[in-house]
Amino acid sequence: MGASIKKAVFPVAGLGTRFLPATKAMPKEMLTVVDRPVIQWVVDEAREAGIEHFIFVTGRNKGVIEDHFDKQFELEQTLRDRGKLSELAVLEADLPAAGQTSFTRQQQPLGLGHAVWCARELVSGQPFALLLPDMLVEGGAGCLKQMIEAHDRLGGNIIALAEVPPQDTGAYGIVEVGEASGNTFEITGMVEKPAPDVAPSNLMIMGRYILQPEIFGHLETQEKGASGEIQITDAMAALHKEQKFHGINYEGRTYDCGDKIGFLSANVAFALNRPDLRDAFMRALDEVLKSAR
């Protein structure tokens, strides 16, 4: 199982204004969680789920993302000369094979929906995964892997759901859910950034999707929505009139790395999950917390 979805889209053209000045000249997707850029963690999740073609929608000032997924001959030779073979092995293992990556540009940051639409020719008419690199999931069997398994069972469109505090619904795409079956729910409605008093639930569209290619027809005609941006949620709500959507309550803990607290928490959680760092980091953290109190 898990063989049905082979292409994944990574929209990385946003401006990252919440992380200025760090993101003035550097893409926010290259911020590091422990010692790997955020985008690398998300590509790892996609590879583990069986993805074979990685499509990046980039923008101006994002060239370093393309360089990150390329060979760096001089660096590799230097590591070899210095006997740093384990570092070299990590670089080699991380690199997608030649021809497995594609890069296209969103010329203006008109919104996530528009960024996804920019990938339409590369996706070329098949169901695909969409991963927002802001969101990292730690623990569990791999969020996208669980979603592809659900897609193999249910078909249609699958979106990962996470609970948010009810007062925070105005910051996310929110779903209305119907009947549950195991860890999946039928989705009965979707709305982008609803105020808490009109939100149909506190289940947010977390940033992992499996979508049918008909989504592109709806993105093409999409008007600007919440925050003046072309929203993927609006196009999904239109597609929902024709096709089924299921939500999945996946295993694993989610960190919103587009937000400072989420990003800092992810660094702590991912470091504590590393056997080579755990004990020493725990001691260092204890010291920091003691002196901060």
Applying CB under 6 A, the residues found at the interface with ligand UTP are 11-18, 28, 57, 106, 109-112, 114-115, 132-134, 258
Number of residue whose CB is nearest ligand UTP:
14
Q: Least distance in Å: CB of 221 to ligand UTP? A: 18
Who's near 38: CB < 8 A, 6+ residues apart?
28, 29, 30, 31, 32, 133, 134, 136, 257
Could you identify the residue written with the tokens 């209305």?
176
**Closest-CA residue to 182 (of 254, 249, 251, 252):** 249
| Closer residue to ligand UTP, CB minimum distance, 65 or 210 | 65
Who's near 218: CB < 8 A, 6+ residues apart?
235, 236, 238, 239
| Closer residue to ligand UTP, CB minimum distance, 79 or 112 | 112
DSSP annotation of 185 reads E
Q: Least distance in Å: CB of 285 to ligand UTP? A: 27
Q: Least distance in Å: CB of 105 to ligand UTP? A: 10
Q: Least distance in Å: CB of 62 to ligand UTP? A: 9
Q: Least distance in Å: CB of 119 to ligand UTP? A: 10
Q: Return the percent helix, strand and coil in the chain, to nearest 5.
A: 40, 25, 35
Please, what is the Cα angle at 169 between 207 and 26, to 5 degrees?
Answer: 45
| Closer residue to ligand UTP, CB minimum distance, 133 or 142 | 133
| Closer residue to ligand UTP, CB minimum distance, 224 or 244 | 224
Q: Least distance in Å: CB of 178 to ligand UTP? A: 27
| Closer residue to ligand UTP, CB minimum distance, 117 or 270 | 117
Are 201 and 175 in contact by the 8 Å Cβ rule? The answer is yes
Who's near 209: CB < 8 A, 6+ residues apart?
129, 130, 131, 157, 158, 159, 160, 232, 236
| Closer residue to ligand UTP, CB minimum distance, 112 or 187 | 112
